[in-house]
Structure 1
Amino acid sequence: MTTAAPSSFVHARTAPGPRGLPFLGNLVDVRRDRLGTFLRAAVEHGDVARLEFGVLTGRRIAHLLRHPDHVKHVLVDAPDNFDKQTPGFTRLREVLGEGLLTSEGSFWLRQRRIAQPAFHRQRIASFAGVMVRAGEERVNAWLERARRDEPIDVAEEMMNLALRIVCETLLGVDMVDTSAVSQAVDVLLADVRNGLGSFFSLPRNVPIERNRIFLEAADMLDRQVQRIIDARRKSGAEASDLLSLLMAARDPETGEGMSDRQLRDEVMTMFLAGHETTANALAWTFWLLSLHPGVRRKLSAELASVLEDGRLPTFEDVARLEVTTRVLQESMRLYPPAWIVARRALRDDVIGGYAIPAGSLVFVSPYVTHRHPAFWENPEGFDPDRFAGGALSRLPRFAYFPFGGGPRQCIGMSFAMVEATLLLATLGRRVHLDLLPGQRVVPEPGVTLRPRGEIRMRIVPIEPGSTARNGA
């Protein structure tokens, strides 16, 4: 499949799409059911589906792109024609400022170059011990709860665990109140999510309850971040974490370092991107494993084989944990934490023969593309073996893109995969998690793809040498 040149814009067709309401377009449908609306648009209207948001939002036009070649066009072939000046990123900047996730242009490139060394393979390998130790301490606490027959909310557990790891590895601190930070992040992301579907938003200085809660959460996080920065400046100690690299960096032209505001924005981005996405991926993974005991038996068998005598995993084991990796890949195919990428077209373009006007939005969604029937057999099924034998190399590059792609591909991709693999192995070698009955677990698409509410699970210890441990 090819993408036409922009010069053919005047002859391009208008893409089909779902019929909307007068004055509102598709806004109500998207607000009510984002995932369902996007999936239906792709199934019923094809690889390029046009959406309209009515006069209350300035009659904005958007196109949902499903085909891997179209995703590649936006993220790799013509990234300079698609910027991040979208409603979603505007609201996200209220939380993250101008960090790596939200900034653009030369400023973003400078920040990316400063941050990149912290994510080299050797640095990630040095963090593996922290990840495994945190996982082992967590599973020990779970076993205490299992003795009292106390269930856990695996979504909350993974959030707190991943936040602890990001604080120790990327920020070099262990003094953050993880519970308070998680609650504040929940408030801020919920506000961003709810705002995306609102007909209008009041300015933050309007004294309504929603604004008060948002500002209190933002202020609490700001104080936590400033506390970390102040403590590091005061200590003067050299460290190898990302915060230390950012604080030591100097502009090659002016010799100036980063301001506290710039540091704050990057730390806030790490709080979000460094724990929210990994935590969601693991929560979905444990839920899926509880629904598919055959897959869980294969995972247990691999852990028993690779981690002989029940030892803890190491960085060197990651490459050997093939089933573990495939389980995570399939979990992120079905429930990619970064479920959608939004861009704004700067100039008229043509994609798949359809006109993409300047100023309109484009959406590329791993959640939608990962279910494309032309590339995925039984796309709604959970089958980690579909990734066996180098299967990804036989697919188009963007048939699977849970970490994005192109110049803006997630800088922490390798970090996240190592962390998720080591944590799944560390936890899974000692316990199974069984979903408690009577729950309806559904995804909530906001900034990330979270479970809506709790995922309550019973802890089932795996005794050394038991049949469960041997994969039976």
Structure 2
Amino acid sequence: MIASTRSAWASSRKSSHHDNGKSCSYSLDVPSAFRRRNEHFSALNTGSYRKRAATFTTSASLSDLLPVAAFLTPGLSTIVYAYFKGKGNLKDGLSRVLTEVSQGYFQPNVGGENIPIAEGELSDLAGDEPLFKALYKWFLESGGVFKLVFGPKAFIVVSDPVVVRHLLKENAFNYDKGVLAEILEPIMGKGLIPADLETWKVRRRAVVPAFHKQYYEAMASMFVACTERTCQKIESTIHQGGQGAGAMLNMEAEFLSLGLDIIGLGVFNYDFGSITSESPVIKAVYGVLKEAEHRSTFYIPYWNIPITKYVVPRQVKFHADLAVINECLDGLIRNAKETRQEDDYEALQNRDYSNVKDPSLLRFLVDMRGEDATNKQLRDDLMTMLIAGHETTAAVLTWAMYCIAQNPDVEAKLLAEIDSVMGDLQAPTMEDLKKLNYVRASLAESLRLYPQPPILIRRALADDTLPAGLKGDPKGYPIGKGADLFISVWNLHHSPHLWRDPEVFRPERFSEKFQNSEFKGKWAGYNPEALGSALYPNEVASDFAFIPFGGGARKCIGDQFALFEASVALAMLLQRYTFRLAVPPSQVGMATGATIHTANGMPMKIVRRTSTAVKSTQAEPRAVSTLS
């Protein structure tokens, strides 16, 4: 899902940043005369200005200077005040001045007066580090619930599992997606992620039954077929390099192509064929994905101005790309409806999908008796799954492979399990996937270290009182309607209070109990026995310290699809090849947009495995660099 964190500040329409990847500037919504005064005072240090000023003062009378002095004095006072408020950094100081003014006059009171305010500076956001890394630093300094205030907008940042449980489960229907929905609505319409509460209830009831046992059985074969394409590409690259040379590929790009092909076939029976080719539809999909990422990280939502889709080149291209995808989806929906075979959903779930021409989620939705969604609603549902399901799974596989390549002991255990369950180059079945416990644990550990997305956004629909949490105010935190909140998944997953050795890639942790005695009676800790029949560690077993797919009522409905898809791909690739980073980990880098992705791609050297019997190196697991 898309973490539109920095765009959230833009909802105030009063502050803005511009991030070019290297620097960040801050523009205040003040009269142009005030900006000219800033230039005026910065020029005081130049000799030419002093010379002009001397000439001016000798020729002008005192009465001429009084109006100028009256005009300049408040500006000078403001700048001096801002300089001291910013501890020598004028930008930080001006941000604080704007905050003081706007909080009193322009921003509605949304409560939270007793919530600690992070002692952060605007300049903390000006570097190369993603926002969630700054939030982690403030979390360690300010606690599990703190307020982040820059300019006229304030956000409550939550990194406490007790408070997260309240927001996602206990009082979930008091919160919607807020700013995130506003950003995604032009792309996903009324799809499950941006949908308002009433629309969401209707669509969830319709979509959830489609993810059933027989569907997953059919999908397992499709996951294998798509992964075979990736293997064929690797083989072709190895062949081109000569015997023994191995292949050199950017595996992040390969995982993106694999994810796109799987989503296309599994959700709406369209073969993008992106692993081996590139069509206008594929180009359009990546164009829309790029725009979604741009909107999730840009500070001013200029795309809401109608004229921009005619005059701003990237917006012109975005609307053209959207038209291409819509035409494709409309055609698929039309064809599915023309071949509709209506039935009750129990009967649909018992179909033999191996004999169904297009065993897709779209086929299920169209054939379901009583499901009369409009073409637009179906298009919104499909677009949401395409955008959300494609990049996230690719990111999980990317970071899992990144971590495995640096931890040979984990790799050895994975290979031993894969060889034992799948044999020699045997394609995995659904039953095999259920036996690949360590594979799933490794993917979960990838999601713990690199959560997708790293931040969830919520907005209060009515007044509420947040619980005290693990170390908070015993009286709790009263907040008002309209309060915006960040749930920092990154902070939860990296918290030294909730995990032993939180920066170490160690899949074994999910088979071990962990309880922090300091929080006994408040937080249950992690308990693998609480998983029940669940196939992966989740918010139930961790008491909301681990939320890889969210939690509560609005938890991601595609969680098992994503897990099965990633398990097939990881198992088949490790079964056949050895992957090693072709560059130092520091050169891979880390950046955020729709997901946490690499800053520079992930080039890997790939060689065929010489033997299926791989012995453990007995190396100790080590911390994996969470790069900035």
Q: Same fold (TM over 0.5)?
A: yes
- 2: CA distance between counterparts of 1:390 and 1:426? 30
Q: Choose which of 186, 190, 201 in structure 1 pairs with 2:293.
A: 190
- 1: CA distance between counterparts of 2:111 and 2:401? 50
2:262 aligned residue: 165
Relative distance call for 1:358 and 1:27 in structure 2 (3 A) is farther
1:242 corresponds to 2:361:
yes
Aligned-residue offset at 1:273 = 2.1
2:135 aligned residue: 38
1:152-194: CA deviations, max 9, x gaps?
1111111111111122222123257474255224322222223
1:449 corresponds to 2:596:
yes
Q: Choose which of 234, 251, 258 in structure 1 pairs with 2:373.
A: 258
1:440 aligned residue: 587
2:196 aligned residue: 104
- 2: CA distance between counterparts of 1:126 and 1:155? 26
1:116-142: CA deviations, max 9, x gaps?
111123321221111112112311221
Letter in 2 for 1:193: S
- 2: CA distance between counterparts of 1:331 and 1:118? 27
- 2: CA distance between counterparts of 1:52 and 1:251? 48
Letter in 1 for 2:497: A
2:240 aligned residue: 148
- 1: CA distance between counterparts of 2:557 and 2:599? 27
Q: Give the match's secondary structure for 1:51.
A: strand
- 2: CA distance between counterparts of 1:200 and 1:244? 38
Structure 1: tracts of 5 or more residues without a match: 1-8
Letter in 2 for 1:34: L
1:134 aligned residue: 226
Relative distance call for 1:98 and 1:340 in structure 2 (3 A) is same
- 1: CA distance between counterparts of 2:316 and 2:129? 25
Aligned-residue offset at 1:94 = 1.5
Q: Choose which of 123, 148, 162 in structure 2 pairs with 1:51.
A: 148
- 2: CA distance between counterparts of 1:171 and 1:402? 25
TM-score, normalising length: structure 2: 0.67
TM-score, normalising length: structure 1: 0.87
The two structures, once aligned, show a CA RMSD in angstroms of 2.6
1:458 aligned residue: 605
Letter in 1 for 2:232: N
1:16 corresponds to 2:94:
no
Q: Give the match's secondary structure for 1:151.
A: strand
Superposed counterparts of 1:338-377, under 5 Å: 338-351=453-466, 352=468, 353-377=476-500
Structure 2: tracts of 5 or more residues without a match: 1-109, 242-246, 274-278, 342-355, 469-475, 515-525, 529-540, 618-628
Aligned-residue offset at 1:401 = 0.6
Letter in 1 for 2:196: E
Letter in 1 for 2:314: R
1:399-418: CA deviations, max 9, x gaps?
10110011101101111111
Letter in 1 for 2:365: L
1:63 corresponds to 2:156:
yes
Q: Give the match's secondary structure for 1:309.
A: coil
- 2: CA distance between counterparts of 1:411 and 1:330? 20
1:230 corresponds to 2:349:
no
- 1: CA distance between counterparts of 2:383 and 2:453? 17
- 2: CA distance between counterparts of 1:422 and 1:213? 35
1:431 aligned residue: 577
Q: Give the match's secondary structure for 2:579.
A: strand
Aligned-residue offset at 1:251 = 5.5
1:92 aligned residue: 184
Q: Give the match's secondary structure for 1:210.
A: helix
Relative distance call for 1:179 and 1:460 in structure 2 (3 A) is farther
1:320-347: CA deviations, max 9, x gaps?
1121111111000001122221011122
- 2: CA distance between counterparts of 1:429 and 1:181? 34
Aligned-residue offset at 1:382 = 1.0
Q: Give the match's secondary structure for 2:550.
A: coil
Relative distance call for 1:202 and 1:259 in structure 2 (3 A) is closer
CA contact (8 A) 1:163 1:275 kept: yes
Of structures 1 and 2, the one with the larger relative CO (CA 8 A, separation 6+) is: 1
Q: Give the match's secondary structure for 1:398.
A: coil
Q: Give the match's secondary structure for 1:284.
A: helix
Q: Choose which of 383, 394, 399 in structure 1 pairs with 2:506.
A: 383
Relative distance call for 1:470 and 1:185 in structure 2 (3 A) is farther
1:114 corresponds to 2:211:
no
Q: Choose which of 174, 178, 184 in structure 2 pairs with 1:81.
A: 174
Letter in 2 for 1:216: A
1:4 aligned residue: none
- 2: CA distance between counterparts of 1:266 and 1:74? 25
- 2: CA distance between counterparts of 1:27 and 1:200? 25
1:411 aligned residue: 557
Aligned-residue offset at 1:276 = 1.6
1:274 aligned residue: 389
Q: Give the match's secondary structure for 1:380.
A: coil
Relative distance call for 1:199 and 1:236 in structure 2 (3 A) is closer
Aligned-residue offset at 1:450 = 2.1
Aligned-residue offset at 1:16 = 2.6
Percentage identity across aligned positions? Answer: 28
CA contact (8 A) 2:288 2:318 kept: no
- 1: CA distance between counterparts of 2:204 and 2:414? 36
Q: Give the match's secondary structure for 2:588.
A: coil
Relative distance call for 1:66 and 1:84 in structure 2 (3 A) is same
CA contact (8 A) 1:366 1:401 kept: yes
* Bigger Cα Rg: 2
CA contact (8 A) 1:100 1:112 kept: yes
CA contact (8 A) 1:339 1:449 kept: yes
- 1: CA distance between counterparts of 2:418 and 2:118? 47
1:310 corresponds to 2:402:
no
